[in-house]
Structure 1
């Protein structure tokens, strides 16, 4: 079951990040269609998340969104303060060497002259990640080496403060730069968003014939809208707040197969303790 790139940097930054440009270019060419890590046998297709059936949006509409490039994979993330990015733990499955990681923010496209970049100084993965079952506690925080300056295209996210969104058919918004169809290319239209509806836990478990951990929840787009590979780690929005993190699913936009997300409210205390 489950599961355009810094074409140029501004001259003042090129000398510092030449190695990253080469690394990231090679990573996308070689592995952008690969999986985020070694797949558990029960889950034959654990790709990084995804946006299917969506519409392009400006980065000003979601200024907390970032791209996380990690030596062979593209993930997304959300700025939570001037130094920290919230993302998915499985985005580190392929690599944990910070010298092979980079963050881009304020960018609508993957190749984007307007984007700013930061090196990664450290990260923390939840200590219970994938212990209870694959993708349990699929949450991590990235720390950058230089302060993030806020503006019209760069803002910190607001984390959800209640669970009022956990009602059947509640509408949430997911966004990212990933695949626009399963097995296809990453989005060449830049940042995309789509609306998904909440599926109660018991119903989702029956649809997938598995038990979910308490930190997971499900969203469904009627088999035509979904998150897909390359969107993992991105924030899921309800009423302007981050309610979830793109985690995993059974392919992309399959009929009667909701995708599974990390519940941010469940981890609010853990997030506070880390930042």
Structure 2
């Protein structure tokens, strides 16, 4: 994968300042066989009846359910899901869906913070699994990744040319390690951003060699997987800023929502967080937030 970020201006309501995120480029490794990552999904959304655009990735977790991040599907009404391929222009299978099949977490914040950045797509007909289309198991409710654990990220993007233009690519992967959460939290809070990162619902991943990003604009919703054999789904690509660890949705925090997205009630995540807080070495910081 190759990271390309168009220069983005972010307005901070906390201290009335502007911040700029500059582009960089990073290369990843091509995946040879979709059979090795047959849970991958690419999303296209329809801007109109005649125009569609690749937007994000997703992950198959059951014959009926696809996970992605909320900011990929928010305020969009129709999508095409692409399955069973390392080349998004040559899919094994496609499925057309509308917003009716998409459930965004009811406490998704949108905006700058992207809290609870997760959505579940529930298909009207189950996928027929085979060697190229299948599911990945999720980590358990109380799985805790440790700083230094090796992880892998996947996506369908690359950057080319002198202008660092982002384009579609055959499926790529990169590997990195989990960031110490206190270091990650402090880097976001202190880097003139006053941006809150939540240990209970988010995971931080190191930049490669502490300088090179892993994922790209267009890779959002793609999987963060463990180094187990077979791997398990640990997180979903959410966002990052230049020079700071990348942020992923923490799957273990959302198992209740994933199991019953339409029946999920606001506050259930917070109840779960209050339990996790007692076990968290960083819980004091969360409890002191004003």
Say yes or no: TM over 0.5.
Answer: yes
2:196 aligns to what? 211
Name the CA shift for 1:126/1:132 in 2 (closer, same or farther; >3 Å): same
Q: 2:107 aligns with which of 112, 128, 145?
A: 128
Contact 1:73–1:91 (CA under 8 A) maintained in structure 2: no
Contact 2:105–2:261 (CA under 8 A) maintained in structure 1: no
Deviation (angstroms), 1:115 = 2.3
The 5-angstrom pairing of residues 96-115 of structure 1 reads 96-98=76-78, 101-112=79-90, 114-115=91-92
Point out the structure with the larger strand share: 2
Name the CA shift for 1:217/1:46 in 2 (closer, same or farther; >3 Å): farther
The structure, 1 or 2, with the larger RCO (C-alpha pairs under 8 Å, 6+ apart) is 1
Matched, 1:78 2:52: no
After TM superposition, where is structure 1 displaced by more than 4 Å over at least 4 residues in a row? 32-35, 43-47, 162-165, 180-183
Name the CA shift for 1:44/1:143 in 2 (closer, same or farther; >3 Å): farther
Separation in 1, partners of 2:25, 2:175: 10
Separation in 1, partners of 2:87, 2:72: 20
Size of the alignment, in residue pairs? 232
1:186 aligns to what? 167
Matched, 1:230 2:236: no
Q: Name the SS for the 2:44 alignment partner.
A: strand
Contact 1:168–1:198 (CA under 8 A) maintained in structure 2: yes
Name the CA shift for 1:131/1:96 in 2 (closer, same or farther; >3 Å): closer
What TM-score comes out, normalization by structure 1 length? 0.74
Name the CA shift for 1:225/1:96 in 2 (closer, same or farther; >3 Å): closer
* Structure with the greater alpha carbon radius of gyration: 2
Deviation (angstroms), 1:200 = 2.0
Please list the CA deviations of residues 27-63 of structure 1 after superposition, one character each: whole Å capped at 9, or x if unmatched: xxxxx9889xx9862396799xx99431011211110
Separation in 2, partners of 1:51, 1:215: 28
Contact 2:71–2:110 (CA under 8 A) maintained in structure 1: no
Matched, 1:90 2:60: no
Separation in 1, partners of 2:235, 2:115: 13
Name the CA shift for 1:87/1:154 in 2 (closer, same or farther; >3 Å): same
Separation in 1, partners of 2:61, 2:239: 22
Deviation (angstroms), 1:228 = 0.9
Structure 1 unaligned segments of length 5 or more: list them: 4-31
